[in-house]
Amino acid sequence: MSELKSFMFAIIIGILFISIFGLAIADFSKGYDRTYDNTTFDKYHRLDEINEGIEEVRDSLEITEESSLFDIFGAYFRGGFKSLKVAGTSVDVVVGSDGLIQDLADDMQLGSATSILITTLSLLIIIIILFVLFKAIFKVDL
């Protein structure tokens, strides 16, 4: 009987916690007056397009038994250029003038700090790309 009483008490406490948490979340959404519609999620649909581009690059790099040496080199160069195009598109989706960071900054009302945030993230991406290229070219562990 004691276990049943403890179980019922835990259920009641859990329901109270969930109710209070739900009311707090509902109050937050009223206070910030933010609505989401289909235009809000267009950036995330572009991420699906990037994923499809990545899958296309992956599929194009398959080598068959009949492939000659020049076909293999051509496929790798073509795949390399396609992957650079996909990388540029994904960077544009995140830090572009109409990207995810800009939307986040608009939602958070950062004002002039938006340009600092975008510049910092762009610089970080450039540094990462340079380190990857440096490691690939000179075969140095960083």
How do residues 37-52 score in pLDDT, each as one tens digit? 566 677 677 778 788 8
* Co-location of 26 and 44 in the same domain: no
pLDDT in tens, 23-80: 777 776 666 665 555 666 776 777 787 888 888 877 776 666 666 777 777 777 777 7
* Co-location of 10 and 50 in the same domain: no
The encoded tokens of residue 31 equal 């206070």
CA 120 vs CA 29, 79, 127: distances in Å: 30, 29, 11
CA 110 vs CA 30, 58, 115: distances in Å: 20, 39, 9
Instruction: Please state, in angstroms and rounded to a whole number, the distance separating the CA atoms of residues 73 and 135.
Output: 22
* Co-location of 128 and 111 in the same domain: yes
* Co-location of 30 and 44 in the same domain: no
pLDDT in tens, 1-21: 677 778 888 888 888 888 888
% of the chain with per-residue pLDDT over 90: 0
Domain range for 51:
37-138
* Co-location of 121 and 67 in the same domain: yes
* Co-location of 28 and 69 in the same domain: no
CB 53 within 8 A of CB 90: no
* pLDDT at res. 66: 67
* pLDDT at res. 34: 58
Instruction: Please state, in angstroms and rounded to a whole number, the distance separating the CA atoms of residues 122 and 110.
Output: 17
* Co-location of 26 and 71 in the same domain: no
| Number of separate domains in the chain | 2
* Co-location of 71 and 115 in the same domain: yes
% of the chain with per-residue pLDDT over 70: 83
* Co-location of 44 and 19 in the same domain: no
* pLDDT at res. 65: 66
Q: Position 99: which residue type?
A: G
* pLDDT at res. 95: 72
* pLDDT at res. 38: 62
pTM here is: 0.49
